[in-house]
Each structure stands twice: as structure tokens, then as C-alpha cells.
Homo-oligomer: A and B are copies of this chain.
Amino acid sequence: MAEERLPSRSEDFSEWYNQLVLRAQLADYAPVRGCMVVRPYGWALWEAIQQGLDRRFRATGHQNAAFPMFIPKSFLEREKEHVEGFSPELAVVTIGGGEELEEPLVVRPTSETLIGHMYAKWIKSYRDLPVLINLWNSAVRWEKRTRLFLRTTEFYWQEGHTAHATAEEAEAEARRMLDVYADFAINDAAVPVIQGLKTESEKFAGALRSYSLEAIMGDGKALQSATSHNLGENFARAFGMQYLDEKNVQHFCWTTSWGLSTRFVGAIIMVHGDDQGLILPPKLAPYQLVVVPIFHDEQERSLVLGQIDSLRAELGEYRLTVDLREGITPGYKFNDWEMRGVPLRVEVGPRDVDQRTVMLARRDQPGRAGKFSAPRDGLALRVGETLADIQASLYDRALQFRKAHTFDPQDFEEFAQAVEVGFAFSWWCGRAQCEAEIKEKTKATARCIPLDQPAGAGRCICCGESAEKKAIFARAY
């Protein structure tokens, strides 16, 4: 309910976000620190994300499966970088069925180790490869500072895990899945993303190479929106995952993993939302349309509701809800559904019934600009076109915003100013020392080295030495 105004994004972006998540009933705080309850409206959004991804995973040959949440603690210790990366964040089960366990179990922070153990058992020959499996589940990382969707102790995600015969195939898979995520982000979520390579200091603990999608939020900060890792032979060696080739020679497998989590819900909120609340992209919105009846007496009521019944049938191909709540005004309902981000509102009053029209109001163009009358004849088509147009303009707007907030600073002072408000796309020598110095002085981190690079070379924005690649630097969620 929208009794009080949200804080505006410009005055307090962080509070705007927190209050919006609660008021729109996307999620709520659970009694356990750092955990969230995802409420039906938020879960419906996540289910739409799941469907968009799942369809793409299947189209690229992947199958779903389920692995247990419990992993023997000793498994994590088999891959040195992996255990160092995840040890501080583990939730550990020490008691089961009333007795102290001989070996403590960790609740999965991610499943590479358990996958390694099982794939080693299943894979014997080149005929068994590739293995292309995806898991929809939740994972647990004990985070110090948590925020709904963005960083929660338990989060929902998918984790893909594949095994291949060659290094080239594993690299191709890691890149393919990064493309799949980008296609989803751009076309379903209307979120522009930069595909890039993670730096050594930012890569996944245990990976040979990590790729990510980076997106800019409404406050100019970056959000890592998905990751795809080429794990090399690291986990295959740690777990003895080997295969016999055509000539009966034994080799280690090459593996990948890739994930997208409920963090992405945070990206959708922070990329598209405005001071009125959420703006959901039509392809993912739990409700694409909300119908609000307008009437003043019983006679008008039955006229209008009758009309809405036939509308419901005509618009059956869209996800639609009719707001029949009693005792609240249409104006209140307008505000409420604007806050909850429904892309298109349909108003039906007695005059609309007479004239065989409805009033449409676009969420992406608040006020008069986005409100227009449309004839009942051909309405389904008109609605479809309008939703497609909303989807496209949300993407364009977000892309314009990113362009306007991506800078090419000429010196460190300009660099420091740039990362206060957006992305700095700067030459970097590639040394961890410069990366660390930048972080210390500006709080900005190297988000990624974009795959799409300009020609030529330049001078590192930090040390002035020669640099072959440009990187995106930004403060990040």
C-alpha cells in the first residue's frame, strides 16, 4: 500500500530501494539475520526470470537436475583457492538427529565440489561428454552486510555445471552461457549489460577465468548481474574427473560453471524504477495489465464489470489482473499499481462502455503523456503493440542512461569524479597494484575488462605505464 510517499531516488537511493521492496510486497525480512521471505509478487517475478532462462538453457542442450544442499566440509578443502574464498562465509551443520556429526556438513555456498565428486563417478569415456547440467536451488553465504535481493544469506539462483573433453570446448561453453545471459538481460529484462572478463583479484575462487555481465544502476553504481567461469582442469584434478579418449588414453575433464541469482531482481528494480516505484519490463512483469473499474453507483458498477468480463476474455493472452477491491478509490488503485510497476493500466468507466473505448495508461510515461483512449475494436493488438513499445523504450532509456554515465577520464582526478556518478572506461596496465590503489583511493573496483575493446593502446589511468586493454571501473553493489 502506498499511504506514504517513497523517499525520492535522488534524495536517498538506498532508502528508496529498501522501502520499495517492502511496500511493493516483493520480499520481507525473515526472523533469521540476513535471510528474506520472497512474497508472491516477488516470486512471480523470479519465476518469470526462471522461465526466460530455462528456455534458453534447454535450447542450448542443458538438462535440469538436483544436488543435495549438504556438502562434507572436507570436499571444499580439496581445491585450495576455492576453500580460501568460501571458508569465511560458511554455514555449518554440526548436529544431525540429536547427535554430533563425525564430519561437519556445510550448506552449499556453491556446488562445484559436489559436482566434481559425482561427475568423477559418472564420466568414464569421451562418449559420456559433454555433461551439461543446470540446478535451480538456493545457496548460503554468511554475509556481514545484507540487503533484500542484493545480498542475502540464503539466495535463490541457478548454477550450471558442465564437463568437456577439451580446453577449447570449456572456453566456448563459458562464453556461450555469457551470451545466453546477455540475450536474456537485454531482450527479456530490458537491462543493458557489458560482457567482460573479471580481473584476477575479482575472479571466482578456483576458476581459470571468470566472465561477468555488468550493469549500471540508477545511482551510477555497478551490479554484477551474472557470471560464467571457465574452471580449467582445477576441479577435475581435485576430484579425479577423468575420461578415456578414442585411443584409450586417460585425460582430465575441463569444466565450467555459471550462475544468475535473485540479485537480478535488484537490478530490475534499480535500472527501471522511478520515484513512483517499480517499472517492470512487460516480458517479466507478473501482471502485464491491471484493469481498474470506475463507477459511482450500482447501475454503473454492473455495466462496467460486465464490460470487464468480456475484456478479460479478449485479452486472455496477457497476464492480467482486475482490481476489484472495495472501499478504496480508483485514484488510490492507480497509485498502488504504479508503485508495483505494472506496465499498462486499463481504466474502464461508464463512458468508455458507451463509446466502446478504454483508457490506457503507460507506466513508463507517467501523467498525461502516457495516457490515451483506445477503441475496443482491435484492443488486443493495440495492447500487444503498446507492451512491445514499453519493453523497447525501457531498454533504450536504460542504455541512454548508461551512455550518459560512462566516462573516459583524462587524468586520475577526472577518474575519481567519474566513479562518484557512474562508470569510468579507462586504460589499465593490468597490474593488481594499480587495481588496489584505485580501490583504496576511490572505492571503485575493476568491474570487468569488456570483451568489446577499442583498437590501439593507451596509458594506465593509475600509473601512466603503457596499457593494452581498457577496463570498466565503478563502485559496485
Which A residues contact B (CB, under 8 angstroms)?
Answer: 28, 30-32, 35-40, 42-44, 46-47, 63-72, 75, 87-98, 104-105, 107, 114, 117-118, 121-122, 133, 137-138, 140, 142-144, 153-154, 156
Contact = CB atoms under 8 A, between A and B. Distances in A.
A63 B44 contact: yes
A137 B92 CA distance: 20
Contact of A65 (B43, B71, B88): B43
Contacts of A90: 95-98
Given A28-B121, A42-B65, A91-B97, 10 more contacts: A30-B67, A35-B68, A38-B65, A40-B65, A43-B63, A90-B95, A91-B105, A92-B96, A93-B93, A93-B107
B66 A114 contact: no
A28 to B, nearest CB: 7
A147 to B, nearest CB: 15
A31 B117 contact: yes
9 contacts: A31-B72, A37-B65, A38-B65, A42-B65, A44-B64, A69-B138, A91-B96, A91-B97, A107-B107
A87 B98 contact: yes
A95 B91 contact: yes
B89 A97 contact: yes
Given A31-B117, A65-B39, A92 B95 contact: yes
A94 B92 contact: yes
A298 to B, nearest CB: 20
Contacts of A75: 31
Given A63-B40, A118-B37, A32 B68 contact: yes
Contact of A133 (B28, B40, B153): B40
A30 to B, nearest CB: 5
A403 to B, nearest CB: 36
B91 A91 contact: no
Contacts of A66: 37-38, 43, 46, 138, 156
A42 B63 CA distance: 11
A34 B92 CA distance: 18
B89 A92 contact: no
B65 A30 contact: no
Contacts of A118: 28, 30, 37
A149 to B, nearest CB: 12
Given A93-B93, A107-B93, A154 B70 contact: yes
